[in-house]
Amino acid sequence: MRRGSVAQLVAIGIVCGGGAALVAILIPWLPDPASRQAGRIDFVFWFVTVICIAIFALVAAVIIYSVLKFRAQPGEDMDGPPIHGNTGLEIVWTAVPAALVTAISIVSAIVLAKNDHIPKASAAGDPLHPLVVEVTAQQFAWSFKYTGFGDLTSATLKLPLNKPVKLRITSLDVNHSFWVPEFGQKQDAVPGSWNNLVITPDKNGTYPVICTELCGLGHALMRSRAEVMPAQKFLSWAKGQQKKLGGPAGSSGKAVFTANGCDSCHTFTPAGANKKIGPDLDNLRQEAQRAGQPLEQFIRTSIVDPNAYVEPGFTKGLMPTSFSSLPKAQLDALVSYLAGGAKK
Ligand SMILES: [Cu+2]
């Protein structure tokens, strides 16, 4: 092969590889990672992407060069020269991909093992190392329970910065899947089993929690938030929340309301809630009348057995049925809070 042809081949390869690299770099395919695990996964993505771009550049260069150079001239109708295999070339194009695929497997295996591993705590007795959170999915809501904090529950996933968190994920009904794009990993929520996911958030902020398994009518609404905050702030939130939820009935109703994510579907002015997926709870008095039930009884039944009476114009089965397992004191507090706030 003449030197001029090699230069042309290389030039075409650089143009193709450069174009592919720009597509990879300039388009924001993935959100910025907000956990150590996502950072490692990003590294694997780039490792594979660089290899792919190099191979693409090589293949594209050879194809484009051949199409331009060896095209049949007008009027030329001869067969090309007969070609036998090229042993050297065949060894190279078998050995190089084998080495690359092996390298990708090794890098991926290391990252997977690291991502599942919870390192030892630097200080003994750190209550946040690791923090265990039970994640319960159900049509169509998430709930997060902090077993180390008296089974405190929350409708949003609050997490301390730079602490490894062990999520134990399950479902009460059908298959769901837990996903925070910025944390980089998904994990199935399967009824009857507990699946683990380790996350070490390393950036303060609020990120979406998304269900990524088509789970029924309200699947697209099955969202929550993950809030990453400094460890100290997390501790004072957890302790304050424990106190509020355990407080005397009436004073804790609002805490129960937000801790269970009622505000993610309902409007209720005293709690500052303004969502429209469920009926407006400011109008509970008229709604109870329409259902022909006393106010408090109507509210209680609606919470523990939402499908017993379905407000006209709203979809049956959207409101989670798991609130029947709320501790009695919390349920009482919630009912009197809602009854007290319902407009006359
Ligand atoms: Cu779901």
**Structure letter (DSSP) for residue 35:** B
Nearest to 55 by CA among 24, 100, 22, 85: 100
Q: What separation in Å is there between the alpha carbon of 177 and the centre of ligand 1?
A: 6
Q: What separation in Å is there between the alpha carbon of 243 and the centre of ligand 1?
A: 31
Q: What separation in Å is there between the alpha carbon of 61 and the centre of ligand 1?
A: 46
d(CA 129, CA 148): 10
Work out whether strand 223-229 and strand 205-211 pair parallel, antiparallel, or are unpaired.
antiparallel
3-state secondary structure of 252: coil
Please write the tens of the pLDDT for every residue from 31-76.
999 999 999 999 999 999 999 999 999 999 999 999 998 888 888 8
d(CA 83, CA 196): 56
**pLDDT for the residue 237:** 93
Cα angle 292, 297, 299; round to 5: 95
Q: What separation in Å is there between the alpha carbon of 189 and the centre of ligand 1?
A: 8
Left (φ > 0), alpha (ψ -120 to 50) or beta: where does 146 sit?
beta
Q: What separation in Å is there between the alpha carbon of 252 and the centre of ligand 1?
A: 29
Q: What separation in Å is there between the alpha carbon of 187 and the centre of ligand 1?
A: 12
Q: What separation in Å is there between the alpha carbon of 216 and the centre of ligand 1?
A: 7
Q: What separation in Å is there between the alpha carbon of 53 and the centre of ligand 1?
A: 36
CA pseudo-torsion sign 179, 143, 150, 206: positive
**pLDDT for the residue 344:** 57
Phi then psi for 321, rounded to 5 degrees? -95, 0
Sequence-distant (≥ 6) Cβ neighbours of residue 244 within 8 angstroms: 251, 252, 255
Q: What separation in Å is there between the alpha carbon of 212 and the centre of ligand 1?
A: 7
Residue with tokens 């065949």: 90
Q: What separation in Å is there between the alpha carbon of 130 and the centre of ligand 1?
A: 26
The pTM of the full predicted model, rounded to 2 decimals, is: 0.74
**pLDDT for the residue 326:** 83
- Out of 3.40.50.720, 1.10.10.60, 2.60.40.420, 3.10.20.30, the CATH code matching 131-244 is 2.60.40.420
Please write the tens of the pLDDT for every residue from 166-190.
999 999 889 999 999 999 999 999 9
Q: What separation in Å is there between the alpha carbon of 65 and the centre of ligand 1?
A: 51
d(CA 231, CA 222): 27
3-state secondary structure of 186: strand
Q: What separation in Å is there between the alpha carbon of 138 and the centre of ligand 1?
A: 6
Q: What separation in Å is there between the alpha carbon of 259 and the centre of ligand 1?
A: 19
Indicate the fold that domain 253-341 takes in CATH: Cytochrome Bc1 Complex; Chain D, domain 2 (1.10.760)
Phi then psi for 224, rounded to 5 degrees? -145, -165
**pLDDT for the residue 247:** 60
Q: What separation in Å is there between the alpha carbon of 174 and the centre of ligand 1?
A: 8
Q: Running along the chain, 344 residues long, what does each successive block of 10 average in pLDDT?
A: 83 95 93 94 95 95 92 83 88 95 97 90 75 92 89 91 94 94 94 95 96 92 94 92 68 83 89 89 90 90 90 85 83 89 68
**pLDDT for the residue 72:** 83
